[in-house]
Every structure is written in structure tokens, then in C-alpha cells.
Amino acid sequence: MAGPGAASPALVLALLAVATAGVGAQRATVEDPDYYVQELWSREPHDQRPEPELEPFSPLLPEGPGEEEREPRPPQPRPPTRATKPKKAPKREKLYAESPPPPPPPGCPPLGLETLKITDFQLHASTAKRYGLGAHRGRLNIQAGINENDFYDGAWCAGRNDLHQWIEVDARRLTRFTGVITQGRNSLWLSDWVTSYKVMVSNDSHTWVTVKNGSGDMIFEGNSEKEIPVLNELPVPMVARYIRINPQSWFDNGSICLRMEILGCPLPDPNNYYHRRNEMTTTDDLDFKHHNYKEMRQLMKVVNEMCPNITRIYNIGKSHQGVKLYAVEISDHPGEHEVGEPEFHYIAGAHGNEVLGRELLLLLLQFLCQEYLAQNARIVRLVEETRIHIVPSLNPDGYEKAYEGGSELGGWSLGRWTHDGIDINNNFPDLNTLLWEAEDRQNVPRKVPNHHIAIPEWFLSENATVAAETRAVIAWMEKIPFVLGGNLQGGELVVAYPYDMVRSAWKTQEHTPTPDDHVFRWLAYSYASTHRLMTDARRRVCHTEDFQKEEGTVNGASWHTVAGSLNDFSYLHTNCFELSIYVGCDKYPHESELPEEWENNRESLIVFMEQVHRGIKGLVRDLHGKGIPNAIISVEGVNHDVRTASDGDYWRLLNPGEYVVTAKAEGFTTSTKNCMVGYDMGATRCDFTLSKTNLARIREIMEKFGKQPVSLPARRPRLRGRKRRQRRWQHG
């Protein structure tokens, strides 16, 4: 492990290169005091750096060099100290590397209807069909409930279909409005969208000015179907406090319904304490931008060059289009499993259009490297005591589709699936059904164990509908003895824990806990409770679900059933406890939102990793001190076991308490002991030494001398036959 002093010059240069790329996006304006409070985020030891001055926010002007020049902003790495031989990239991978960045939305970022920065109180409408179709539901990409009921429907819908209907946004300060994005109603049963509309602005909500096209009112072309967002740029930016959409025509067989986002730059108001108090910034010098495939690889390389002693880049397989699925390992001994050191992983981007998780993991990579070099004691301890694996983009093919659409124009589902149309999130083998059917037949544990359930043969065949990305993850998880993992998803703000599949076949929602339910609930709460918004009872629900009754957590099956989820597969086939972490309402937030989303999730990402050290750990060895692989560790009262790794080491996540733990292995006597788990962080050491059974010793001795042990059941008939022959001979 290299000392920090030697790496300091390289660190300064590399940090400047990475930070310069993201400095333009390190500011986000928050409008509602009920949702946020003013905070200047800084943590040891980087809080010792001088705090940046809060400069007035300057709106982006439509003329001159604008976002088109700044948007790509690839990080500029410090040249490596030694020449590296360029590697020839696969043809399809090269296509990704050279794909141009998507055109940025014109002028200004979104005000925040989709991200909920704009509150319900800032949205007003002329009329509404009912409460569930009120103005507060007119947000871009908002989803309707399954029943499309009175409370959670999929758009604002006017109470009447005439030219006098409108929906408006109160920006609460003077704003330079530059564009409008609209969608139709999210509905399984109805087809409602607006085909044209006018735009009006006002400073007092009484006197309105209509956007003109020459001498007449400008009519903007709306939607031709209900899901694909349509952007209309204002011919000239308009400065006002209020903006109103006035539908002029709509789908013939439908009603006036729309979802929308407004693009606008709030004007600086240094004398307004309310706005200054709610502006948030970050002191972390990170690369706050969206990274395409080439830029993601480049950023990984930058981190690896900054921290070569604790990082390693490798790939776990390839996507359907042959693109490498890159992982970054962070450890004080990268490339090797250290006996007694737990393995942890983060995965993001299983759904290619849920890109916030991807960017959070890239930010986490940079942060861990920087803080390790700065000798942040907490991060140093985490890196030295944990082997961390991070896969930022599990579905790069899908991401490319979403990236082409861009932040606001990609819609809710573009890029969700793999290139061959598979949803990775529920593409794993359904082991739940195998286990539950066996339990119902009372074949457990003789036929089907409650852990390490084998993958069905049909799933392993080449003809099975299994994504290349899914097979890569399975092989990766079978190779590395992961203890804890989190897969980052988007579109909600909650942590979901297994089981994800209901046990009752006729239900779509049913609380279905695992034998480790209390441990999973704690793991989920450790993330949710340290997130800035997840457990805030005052926050608005993203779409239809209010998760506050469980403090920002939910049992996956009680939310919606999913067969073949990564969480359930991980729990039933490996030792790993896996959870799904939904990191934001907006799947693809605008680049300007990334600093705030990083602050929302940073502490949670670290705290969740630290939970891998909760419970018991130890070695299972024979009398000669050699580790015993595949030994079974059972906890009394918990119907789920784990196995030792190849070196005989194991980890068993448990909440504080006293447990009766048993270690057993084929050919060895069983050993049981009491193990206490305390409240302090750090797993309790609980080792076992197993001696071989008498039969195993006999087998070992006989094999040593080239003989097989006598099988007693086979020998008895021979002995009885010999005795009968002897009796016949004596009496004959």
C-alpha cells in the first residue's frame, strides 16, 4: 500500500482534470422549504479545504456558446507515467465509443416537475376531472396506479374539453423560460393527449402574455401518442414568474390530458433570503456529468491511475452486442480474496434507462479514491477491511438507447431492456417455486436445501431465454463469495428487500418474508434512514406508493411480485444478501441535478457497505489447521444456511443478539457453539475446528494403502452365505 505523500502530485493533477469537467454542474436550486434545508455539504477530511464562494446563479443565454459546447466534457486524465500499449477494441464496442453525445435540451435545465423539486402547491389548473387527475399529477413521466383510482392517476385531465382549459406552474421567482416538454396520459385503458397548445407567461398570475409567432399567437405542436415526450423550444426566452399551457386541440377520441416539464433558468436574486437559504452546493470535487460508454471507461482509467494500489479494472462478461461489462474492484490487495475479508458489490443499470445509479457509482468510485488518498480514517478502514466490487452499467446496450434520447426526451421505458428485449431484473432462475413446492411436499431438507439451490438444467441450455448479461452476473456471483450487495435502480425512492415473489400463486401482492426478514429489514433501513429524503414523511410520493409506513423500505413481494429476481436468486443460490435500492423518482435526471442526488445518496452508499461487517464471521478448519470449503453454517431458529468459501472462511449477517451456531461438513463431526453479536460495528469472530469422523478416517487410511474400505451392507449377505455353506458341510 503506497503512502499518501507519494501520490499527492498525481492526485492534484488528476483531481483538477476530473473536477474541471464537472464544475459547471455543481449547483442545484431548491425551491420548497418543506422539502429541503440550506446545507453546505462537507465531510472529514475534505472539509478542511476552503469552502467555495457561492456565486450568483447566472441564467444560460440562448445566444453564443452554450451547453452544446459544454455538454460532452470528457474528463482529461493526467497522462500515465509509462507508455501503455493501445488495445484494439471490438468493432461493436468501438461503435459505442464513437457515438456522438445526445443534443442537450435548449438553454436551461428542467424546473423539476419530474424530480418533485416543483411542489404540488406550485401547480394549478383551470379544472380537473377529479382529484386523482388534478394539476399535481401533470408531471413528466408520472405513472398511474394499477387501478387508476381517484388518488393516483397518470396525468392532469381537464374537467371539460374546451379552449379555456389550462395548467400552470408558479416558479416562485423570476425565471427565464426556454421550453416545454409534454406527454399524454399514462393509462392502460384510455388514450388521452393534447395535440397542440399555446404558452402564456405572467408576473402576477392575472395579466398573461401569450408567446407570439410574428403578429399572432404561436401554436405549438403537441403529442401524437401518449408516452413519447415532445419538446417545444420557445422562439425567444421569456422572463416571468408563471408559465401556463393552454391546450388548443386534443386526440379526437380522448380528453384534454397531459404531463409536462418546463425548461427554465431561475434568475439570480441575491437579496432574497428564502432562495439563498434553499440553494445547495457540494464541496466534493467530482465529475458531475452523464458518461457515455467511452467516457465511463475513461473515468475508470482516471480513478485507476490516481489509486493504482487499491483499484483494479476487469470485466465480468459481455452484453448481447459484445460490449464489455466493466467492474472496478477497490481493495488494499486488488485481485485477490483475502481470508476473512468480506466481499461486497454494487450493481447499477440493469435497466439501461435508469441512469442515476450508474452516475452515483461512478461518483462513488472517485470519492473512495480521493478520500483514501486523503487518509479519511473511515474510508481507509472500509477499503482495507472490505473487498468492494462496483459494476456501474450492467446493460450498456440499453443505456445507449436511453442516452440517444437524452435526459428529458427518452421517456419512461426507452432503453429499459437489453438489446434482445429481455428485462434483466426478472431474468434469473425462479428458485422460489422449487423451494416452496419441495417444502409443501415435505422434502426439505433431504431433497431441496434452503440454501445454494441448484440452477435448473433448462435454464442452463443455450435455447433458454436468458440474456448474456444475466449469464455473466450469475457466473460472477458463483465465482466470488459475496456477502452483501445492492443493485441500484430508478423511478422510485425506496429500498426493497426479498422475497420479491409472492408465495400464493393467485396473488400479485403479498408480504413474503425470508427466514432472515429481520436482517433484511435492518439492511434496508440502514440505507433509507441515512438518505436525505427517503424517510422524510413530508416528501411527496413519486408516483402512487407511499412507503413511509415502513420508513422508506418495502418487502418486494408486498409491492409487486417478480419471479426470477436478482434478490431472490442471490439469497437462494449464493451466500449473498441482495437488496434493490431505488435511488430517485426521476430515472434519468438532468445533469444539473447530479450534485444534489450525490448528496442525497452519498452517506447511504457508504453506510450500506459498512453493514457487510455486521454479524459473525470465522474460519472452519480441520485438526491440521486447513480450511474446509463448503462447510455448512447453520443458525438455530433461522431456516437458511450459508457455506464456507474455498479457504474455509465464512460470513453470516445477523442482527445483535446471542445465537447457537453449528458448523458441519461431509466427513467431519459437527461442532456447535454460542456466538454473541454486539451493537458495535464489526463482525464477531466465531471459528470452528472439525475432526474427521471414524468412517472418514478409515477411508483415508485404506485409500492411502490402495485399498477401499469394506462396505458392511454388502458384506453381510456374503457372510450369511458362507455360514450356510459351512453348516451344510458339517451336517452333510
62-76, 124-138, 269-283, 291-305: least confidently modelled range: 62-76
- What is the distance between the alpha carbons of residues 23 and 512, in angstroms, rounded to a whole number? 46
Residues making up the chain, counted from first to last: 732
**Domains of the chain, residue spans:** 120-269, 293-612, 616-705
Instruction: Output the CA–CA distances (angstroms, integers) from residue 18 to 35, 462, 722, 726, in the order listed.
Output: 31, 43, 86, 92
Instruction: Report pLDDT for 505.
Output: 84
- What is the distance between the alpha carbons of residues 351 and 416, in angstroms, rounded to a whole number? 4
Burial of 187 (0-12, 13-18, 19+ CB in 10 A): middle
Query: How large is the C-alpha radius of gyration of the chain?
Result: 30
This prediction's pTM = 0.82
Instruction: Report pLDDT for 90.
Output: 44
Instruction: Report pLDDT for 93.
Output: 44
Residue that is written with C-alpha cell 434469473 in the block? 428
Q: What is the CATH number of domain 120-269?
A: 2.60.120.260
Please give the average per-residue pLDDT across 77-86, as a whole number.
37
Instruction: Report pLDDT for 680.
Output: 87
pLDDT above 50: residue 80? no
- What is the distance between the alpha carbons of residues 601 and 583, in angstroms, rounded to a whole number? 7
Instruction: Report pLDDT for 506.
Output: 87
pLDDT above 50: residue 437? yes
- Collapsed DSSP state (helix, strand, coil) of residue 368: helix
pLDDT band at 267 (very low <50, low <70, confident <90, very high): very high
Q: pLDDT by residue (tens digit) across 628-668?
A: 999 999 999 999 999 999 999 999 999 999 999 999 999 89
- What is the distance between the alpha carbons of residues 182 and 185, in angstroms, rounded to a whole number? 10
Burial 299-312 (b: 16+ CB within 10 A, else e): bbebbbbbbbebbb
Class of domain 293-612: alpha beta
Q: pLDDT by residue (tens digit) across 491-524?
A: 999 999 999 999 998 888 999 999 999 999 999 9
- What is the distance between the alpha carbons of residues 181 and 677, in angstroms, rounded to a whole number? 54
Q: Among residues 217, 196, 140, 127, which one has the least CA distance to residue 166? A: 127
Beta carbons within 8 Å of 634's beta carbon, 6+ residues apart:
641, 661, 662, 663, 664
Q: Which residue has the higher pLDDT, 112 or 8?
A: 112
Burial of 271 (0-12, 13-18, 19+ CB in 10 A): exposed
Q: Which residue has the higher pLDDT, 28 or 615?
A: 615
Instruction: Report pLDDT for 563.
Output: 93
pLDDT above 60: residue 82? no
Contacts 24+ apart (CB under 8 A), 40-44: 40/281, 40/283, 41/280, 41/281, 41/282, 41/283, 41/284, 41/599, 42/283, 43/376, 44/376, 44/377, 44/378
- Collapsed DSSP state (helix, strand, coil) of residue 650: strand
In terms of average pLDDT, the best of 305-309, 545-549, 710-714 is 305-309
Q: What amino acid occupies position 297?
A: R
Share of the chain above pLDDT 90, in %: 69
Instruction: Report pLDDT for 146.
Output: 79
Q: pLDDT by residue (tens digit) across 104-126?
A: 445 799 999 999 999 999 999 99
Instruction: Report pLDDT for 102.
Output: 54
pLDDT band at 294 (very low <50, low <70, confident <90, very high): very high
- What is the distance between the alpha carbons of residues 432 and 563, in angstroms, rounded to a whole number? 8
Topology at the third CATH level for domain 616-705: Immunoglobulin-like (2.60.40)
Instruction: Report pLDDT for 2.
Output: 41
User: C-alpha 244: how far from its chain's center?
Assistant: 36
Q: What amino acid occupies position 75?
A: P
Instruction: Report pLDDT for 697.
Output: 64
Instruction: Report pLDDT for 283.
Output: 83
pLDDT band at 273 (very low <50, low <70, confident <90, very high): low
Q: Which residue has the higher pLDDT, 505 or 86?
A: 505
Q: pLDDT by residue (tens digit) across 383-402?
A: 999 999 999 999 999 999 99
Q: What amino acid occupies position 730?
A: Q
Share of the chain above pLDDT 70, in %: 78
Q: Among residues 644, 653, 699, which one has the least CA distance to residue 671? A: 644
The DSSP bridge partners found for residue 496 are 554, 580
34-43, 223-232, 249-258, 539-548: least confidently modelled range: 34-43
State the greatest distance between any 2 C-alpha atoms of the chain, in Å, as a whole number: 131
Q: Among residues 228, 395, 218, which one has the least CA distance to residue 323? A: 395
pLDDT above 50: residue 12? no
pLDDT above 80: residue 540? yes
Q: pLDDT by residue (tens digit) across 33-77?
A: 332 222 333 334 443 444 333 333 333 333 333 333 333 333 443
Please give the average per-residue pLDDT across 679-695, as a whole number.
88
Instruction: Report pLDDT for 526.
Output: 97
- What is the distance between the alpha carbons of residues 245 and 237, in angstroms, rounded to a whole number? 15
CB-CB contact of 662 with 633 (8 Å): yes
Burial of 560 (0-12, 13-18, 19+ CB in 10 A): middle
The DSSP bridge partners found for residue 181 are 231, 261
> Average per-residue pLDDT in the chain?
84
